[in-house]
Structure 1
Amino acid sequence: MDKKNALRAGALAAGTTLMMLLLSSPASALARDDGDDPGSGLNVIETLGLFVFAPIVLYLVIAGLVMVGDKTHKKKDPTSSNIATKAEAKSEVKA
């Protein structure tokens, strides 16, 4: 029963998507509108810098800040990773 419902849902989704694609009008990217004033294009270096290198640098900066914040948290909180104290407490309970 579940396989039949899944097949029906998939067919409905595919049919809906196909109808939306067939009935939609093409994007009029080549026709200029009144008041349209596109700027000059980007060269290869500017494009790579904007869409490749800038996100990588931003990711590394955020990751570095998270790592620095995580290290300072471990130094301030002595009970979070104090395994020796937990082991001593267990041995005292047994004795």
Structure 2
Amino acid sequence: MSNKVNKNAMRAGAITAGTMLMLLMSSPAFALTRDDGDDPGPGLSVIQTLGLYVAAPIVLFLVITGLVMVLSRKGDNAHMQDTHYAKASR
């Protein structure tokens, strides 16, 4: 092998080893051991999970969108009038 290929292989191996080391250090090794004061509640059902993480954000988005649309109607708000006029030609 040439020196350049060997250097690239060593670099790739070092990056892979470093990435694997970081992943192993950040793994939840003690997740099964309960700490003092750790008192998890009951789990959520599928319907509760979908409602909390899917339906609630969609409803919140629609409410905010509706409020913005209703409160920023062009004819009712004097501050929202179009003030950009084309310059008169000479």
Q: Same fold per TM (> 0.5)? A: yes
Structure 1 residue 64: deviation in Å?
0.8
Match of 1:54 among 56, 67, 78: 56
Distance 1:78 1:66, change over 3 A: closer
CA deviation map 1:10-30 (0-9, x unaligned):
x8xxx36454224x1421222
Distance across 1 between alignment mates of 2:51 and 2:81: 45
Percent sequence identity over aligned pairs: 54
Distance 1:67 1:33, change over 3 A: same
Structure 1 residue 81: deviation in Å?
6.8
Distance 1:17 1:65, change over 3 A: farther
CA deviation map 1:17-67 (0-9, x unaligned):
454224x14212222112211111111111111111111000000111111
Displaced runs of 4 or more, over 2 A: 15-22, 76-79
Which residues in structure 2 correspond to 1:16-95 (within 5 Å)? 17-22=19-24, 24-27=25-28, 28-71=30-73, 74-75=74-75, 76-77=78-79, 80=82, 90=88
The answer to which structure has the higher helix fraction is 1
Q: How many residues align?
A: 75
Distance across 2 between alignment mates of 1:26 and 1:59: 35
Structure 1 residue runs of 5 or longer lacking an equivalent are 1-10
Q: What TM-score do you get using the length of structure 1 for normalisation?
A: 0.56
